[in-house]
Copies of this chain bind each other. A is one copy, B any other.
Amino acid sequence: MNEFVDCSRLSLNQYTTFNLNVKEAIDACLRADLHYICLWRDKIASYGLDNCAKIVKESGIKVSSICRGGMFPALSKEERQKRIDDNKRAIDECVALGTDTLVLVCGGLHNKNIEEARDYVEEGISAILPYVDGAGVKLGIEPLHPQFAADRSVMVSLPHAVSMAKAINQNFPQVKHPVGVVIDVYHVWWDPYVYEGIKAAQGLIYGFHVCDWITPLPDTLKGRGMMGDGHIDIRRLRLAVEAVGYHGPIECEIFNQALWDSDVDEVIDLMKQRFMEVC
């Protein structure tokens, strides 16, 4: 457990530099001497999976995770099966790009029955777990902020996500990589039970994301701030995940229109500086 952190663990989540394609984002990482990047599936698709795999290999950069699988709840069984099949494709992409982590944004409501939607999440993860494990990839449920419960993820509590992961894992005692969680400070910082959730997640933390909660919130989706500009005690959360054994990459994921409109190298420089100062 280190009071301070250097940039060797810092990963650029591609959406922090939203306007760049995969090659441009990797090039920006190399210029900034970053060792990791998180790639998004829409960006992978638009650049072409084979092209991405080639660039990743040539660059020597490590892909900390792919974002995102999930989106399980849907009204019809056929549609839910389509979502499961799409998650299997996401796992194939993880293998092709050499990452061991698929981040799950689990999906919003299919109707007003939020508990049924959570059941569909559990069913969906259970359906892909054998497939993912054979591929050597880990699934991390990312609980989102409750403001996204209706439209993006019915999983909105870290302790609840850990409980679900453990309930699923009990049914799959033979897998090498049980289902775990990905913890983003933006989504969990407000929770009076967040530190209990981190302790309960020991051994099952597959990612840690940083940004900040700024007020007034500029936008629901694109309202995240640079670390240090907001209200989150990021360092305390980092030390807590390290105390239970997470020492992997730390992704900086900031959805913010003003940052997206700024010079990429300046954004990444500021990200590195703030990472060392406040994370």
Contact = CB atoms under 8 A, between A and B. Distances in A.
Interface of A: 109, 112-114, 118, 145-147, 149-151, 154, 156-157, 160, 189-193, 213, 215-217, 220, 230-233
A160 B190 contact: no
B220 A190 contact: no
Nearest to A143: B192
Nearest to A109: B231
Contacts of A109: 231
Contacts of A231: 109, 112, 150
Given A145-B146, A156-B191, A160-B193, 4 more contacts: A114-B190, A149-B189, A149-B213, A217-B220
A113 to B, nearest CB: 7
A236 to B, nearest CB: 8
Contacts of A233: 112-114
Contact of A147 (B118, B154, B217, B230): B217
B112 A232 contact: yes
Contacts of A151: 215-216
Given A220-B216, A220-B217, A220-B220, A118 B192 contact: yes
A181 to B, nearest CB: 14
| Top 5 A-B pairs, shortest CB-CB distance | A149-B190, A160-B192, A146-B190, A150-B231, A112-B233
Given A231-B112, A233-B112, A233-B114, A147 B146 contact: yes
B157 A215 contact: no
A147 B150 contact: no
Contacts of A215: 150-151
A230 B150 contact: yes
Contacts of A192: 118, 156-157, 160
A156 B216 CA distance: 17
A58 B213 CA distance: 47
A125 to B, nearest CB: 16
